[in-house]
Amino acid sequence: LSTGCGLKVKSFLEEKGFEVAVFHTIGVGGETLEELVKIYRVSGVIELGLNEIGNELFGGLASAGPNRLEAAGEKGIPQIITPGCIDIINFLGPETLPDRYKDRPLCFHNPQATLPRLNNEEFRLLGETVGKKLNRAVGPVRVLIPIRGFSSLDCQGNIFYDPITDKAFIDSLKSSLKKAIEVKEIDAHINDEEFADRVASEFLDIIKG
pLDDT tens for each residue of 98-134: 999 999 999 998 888 999 999 999 999 999 999 999 9
Kindly calculate the radius of gyration of the chain based on its CA atoms and give it in whole angstroms: 16
Whether the CB-CB separation of 118 and 126 falls below 8 Å is answered with yes
Q: Give which of 78, 63, 88 is closest to 152, Cα–Cα.
A: 88
pLDDT value, residue 152: 94
Neighbouring C-beta atoms of residue 25, cutoff 10 Å: 24
Ramachandran region of residue 76, left (φ > 0), alpha (ψ -120 to 50) or beta? Answer: left
DSSP 8-state assignment for residue 99 = G
pLDDT value, residue 109: 85
Domain ranges of the chain: 3-91+117-206
pTM here is 0.96
Helix (H) or strand (E) holding 121: helix 120-135
Tell me the mean pLDDT in the region 128-149. Answer: 98
Confidence category of residue 209, pLDDT binned at 50, 70, 90? confident
Confidence category of residue 94, pLDDT binned at 50, 70, 90? very high
pLDDT value, residue 17: 96
Confidence category of residue 61, pLDDT binned at 50, 70, 90? very high
The SS3 call for residue 110 is strand
Confidence category of residue 59, pLDDT binned at 50, 70, 90? very high
CATH code linked to domain 3-91+117-206: 3.40.50.12030
pLDDT value, residue 182: 96
Percent of the chain exceeding pLDDT 70 equals: 100
Q: How far from chain centre, in Å, is Cα 78?
A: 16
pLDDT value, residue 169: 98
